[in-house]
Amino acid sequence: MNRLPVLFILLGVLFGQARIGEWQAYTAPLHINDIAGFEQQAVCGTNGGLLIYDQDDNTFNTLTVIDQLAGTGVNVVEMGQDGYLWLGGVSPDGFVQVYDLKTKKSIAEFDFGLTEIIDISIADSIGFVAFLENQDWGLMEFIYRDEWIYRDVYRNWPTDFESINAIEIWDDEVMVATEQGLFVGDWRGSNLKDPTSWGQPYITLSGNISSLHENGSNILLVHERNVYHLTPNTSTPLTLLWDYFSDTDQFIDITQDSDGFLWGILDRKFMKLSDTAIDWQLDVQSKYSFTCLTKMPDGQIIAGSEIGITLIDQDNQTLIREIPNAPLTNQISAVTVLNDGRLVAGSKYGLSIKESWGWRNIAESNEIILTPTYNELRFAVDYIPVDFGGFVADMEQGPDGLLYCAIRGTYPEPRRHGGGIIIIDIDNPENFTLIDTAVLDYYANEYMIVKDLEFDALGILWGANAYATTRGNPIAVRDANKSWGSFSVTNSGNILSYTPNTIGFDSFGRVWVGSFEDDLNTPPARNGGLVYLDYEGSVINPTSTEWGSVDINPGYTNNTVWSLAINDEDILYALTPIGLLQLTLQFSNAEPVKKYGYVYFPNISYGKGSKVQLDSRNNVWTASPTQGVHVLTSGSTYWPDINGFKRDNSQLLSNDVADIAFNNDEGLAYIATSQGISVLRIPFAVRKDSYNKTRVFPSPYHLPSSSPLVIDGLMDESTCKIMTVTGRVIRTLMVSNAGINGYQAYWDGKDSKGRWVDTGVYLISIYRDSGESGFEKIAVIQH
């Protein structure tokens, strides 16, 4: 059945009004690390950026590096005295940032290479930040002198402890909650670098202090599951509020409302506490634990969890779960673009499909649970009994329209609901097939590892069946009649490896296989390298086969090929530990390589998980798990330059890049990273054959403007003339060379003499020397 009778709009439309070089980000802001109240908004620090929940509108909005965040993983959110947010990064990127939520601009950023920020406390012109650096715990001090500046760091403690759990500033004291008790230092009058400056004045608080919150006229803290008010500098500073938690309770956090009631969360339980009893409690029927708790300015209690937030309806004693629409995870291992333009992202948790209305997910369960209708503003998921293994290594849409997923690491029934290849109808998820050891070869204990899937021009499916040591069949094939077969190490004359990693096809009918080196490649198998197969007859029972190998790294001992791609001019690009190799192929099997080209990007660390992909203009995109994306154009130049795209020179979410896919019609590159999916509008798109889809934005165009008007969807080598309605030409725009900004032209709103044009309607004449032409019009408003 088809439960999605929707006319799917190309995903590019959602990012259509973007200039070449502009970025967008798709993240999963589901795991809530911290919450702070800002006016009517709950500002949530998540592993996918800042998640903003508006109580009045009941809507979510997500902010990422596109919105000037210093990083996407936010562990701490603290409201400063000046109305700015203080943000602390989650491991392994422990940044500190001061951020203006109203303008969505960064005020200050501090990056000292820390592992994680644990907590932040701000008071007037002083601030302290608790951090973890590798295995060391410490505090940083910040002061305000017309702007926030870093002042000092404190790492010396009177005793060893295993963690800092929270900090608070109280007058001239800074309090540090640890599992060894509460440490207090005088930040104004003492040298906090001296371990003796840190005291433990509250000797009864010698155990674990798990929670510490400023609470108006006192501090609310939890010591060994007992809840106290701490009022420093008084005759009886400690007041016990609650001591009824048991040793088995997995206490998470607590807050207190204006009526004096305590509200607490355990792992999967919410409770309201009076002086001596639990006023009421609710068990949460979910596998996702609570993570944090906050009281909003209007008194609303909101809890964060491993997936979304929970609002407390105090009157009806119910919990309302709100989960934003998002993909399953930020850690995307593979991406592909379907024929209809939809993006599909794969991970160890399942599949995420970017529909025209938002994200729809397919996740693992023990049974089929399908959602009949989706709330397009909230998390959308169907469940199927499928194990997605260690992760989805590759995805391809087959000639039948189904999605084929290579699974890196799974077991068959009854151990798991697994297959090395999953074939699924993503629009009808209960229609899936698991290809397991009945067809695929495997490693010990029936462990299946499929690294790559490719369809050739005949619709034959080829699979890189790595670690296929049981039967020695590392290449799996399925013909157009859905019959399965394989090629063995023995078939190849022992030049195949047990560790195929990547497969490609040239126009001469050869199949190319790249493998990585591994100790399991024992004789007679080859240890890594690049080999080719030329066969006659049926792929299941060929009448003849011819195998050969190519020395990809002469003089270099490592024969690993991480990934390969072959363009329509039969140039093979092989990604290896020493860089990107360029091989020009020819018809001869005796001498398949006509020319050995250069080794590009020799300074980039291409390790396990590196990939190479081609866009529609034969440009070569390489993905590194540590150094981002680097692009070699079809003309063997670097784009945008030799430095490529990294976190420090672009809005790429992470330097850990797993895969790249393209919407070639729209000129979009989807870059799968460990922090989500980065989307880049690129100057490489399928050549337009008419001006029927030309569009102009923004409309109307307001002047003066720092951003140009964009004429999008142009044919290569177009010329654009800006004219008045009477036909007078005021500016001529020449689009640069084909394929480089070839489908966009830009107008800055000025005439040929550099003057802003007047308010009015202007015509845009578009043409090519070969005779094609088109017209657009635009309203200009001069302020």
d(CA 118, CA 343): 35
Q: Report the alpha-carbon angle 403-409-414, nearest 5.
A: 90
Q: Three-state SS for 187?
A: coil
Of 378, 463, 369, 483, nearest to 421 by C-alpha is: 463
Q: What is the pLDDT of residue 645?
A: 98
d(CA 127, CA 85): 12
Whether 104 has a pLDDT exceeding 80, the answer reads yes
Q: How confident is the model at residue 8 (pLDDT cuts 50, 70, 90)?
A: very low
Whether 1 has a pLDDT exceeding 80, the answer reads no
- Single pTM value for the model: 0.93
Q: What is the pLDDT of residue 243?
A: 86
Contact 208, 194 (CB under 8 A): no
Average pLDDT over residues 34-40: 95
Contact 416, 397 (CB under 8 A): no
The predicted-structure confidence for 459-470, as pLDDT tens digits, reads as follows 999 999 999 999
CA distances, 204 to each of 161, 164, 239, 275, 367 (Å): 17, 18, 12, 21, 51
The predicted-structure confidence for 41-71, as pLDDT tens digits, reads as follows 999 999 999 999 999 999 999 999 999 999 9
Whether 276 has a pLDDT exceeding 90, the answer reads no
**Domain covering 437-600, topology:** Neuraminidase (2.120.10)
> Which amino acid is residue 613, in one-letter code?
Q
Contact 232, 170 (CB under 8 A): yes
d(CA 652, CA 675): 9
The predicted-structure confidence for 576-601, as pLDDT tens digits, reads as follows 999 999 999 999 999 999 999 999 99
Task: Say what the alpha-carbon torsion angle 716, 718, 720, 726 is, to the nearest 10 degrees.
Answer: -130
The predicted-structure confidence for 564-579, as pLDDT tens digits, reads as follows 999 999 999 999 999 9
Of 11, 27, 169, 180, nearest to 90 by C-alpha is: 27
d(CA 23, CA 682): 10
DSSP annotation string for 616-632: TT--EEEEETTTEEEEE
Greatest Cα pair distance, the chain, in angstroms, is: 95
Q: What is the pLDDT of residue 2?
A: 41
Where in the sequence of the chain do the CATH 2.120.10.30 domains occur? 437-600
DSSP 207: S
Average pLDDT over residues 150-178: 96
Contact 537, 543 (CB under 8 A): yes
Total number of residues shown for the chain: 783
% of the chain surpassing 90 pLDDT: 86
Where in the sequence of the chain do the CATH 2.20.25 domains occur? 244-323
Lowest-confidence region among 167-176, 235-244, 550-559:
550-559
The CATH number of 695-782 is 2.60.40.1930
Contact 449, 499 (CB under 8 A): no
In SS3 terms, 370-395 reads as CCCCCCCCECCEEEECCECCCCEEEE
**Cβ density class 231-240: b for 16+ within 10 Å, e for less:** bbeeeeebee
Q: What is the pLDDT of residue 586?
A: 98
Average pLDDT over residues 127-151: 96
The predicted-structure confidence for 397-451, as pLDDT tens digits, reads as follows 999 999 999 999 999 999 999 999 999 999 999 999 999 999 999 998 999 999 9
Q: Residue 734 corresponds to which tokens in the numbers above?
A: 């020449």
The CATH number of 244-323 is 2.20.25
In SS3 terms, 31-45 reads as CEEEEEEECCEEEEE
The predicted-structure confidence for 355-412, as pLDDT tens digits, reads as follows 999 999 999 999 999 999 999 999 999 999 999 999 999 999 999 999 999 999 999 9
Average pLDDT over residues 162-184: 96
Whether 263 has a pLDDT exceeding 90, the answer reads yes
Q: How confident is the model at residue 16 (pLDDT cuts 50, 70, 90)?
A: low
Q: What is the pLDDT of residue 15?
A: 54
d(CA 347, CA 329): 7
Lowest-confidence region among 207-216, 274-283, 662-671:
274-283
Mean pLDDT of the chain: 93
The predicted-structure confidence for 283-298, as pLDDT tens digits, reads as follows 887 788 999 999 999 9
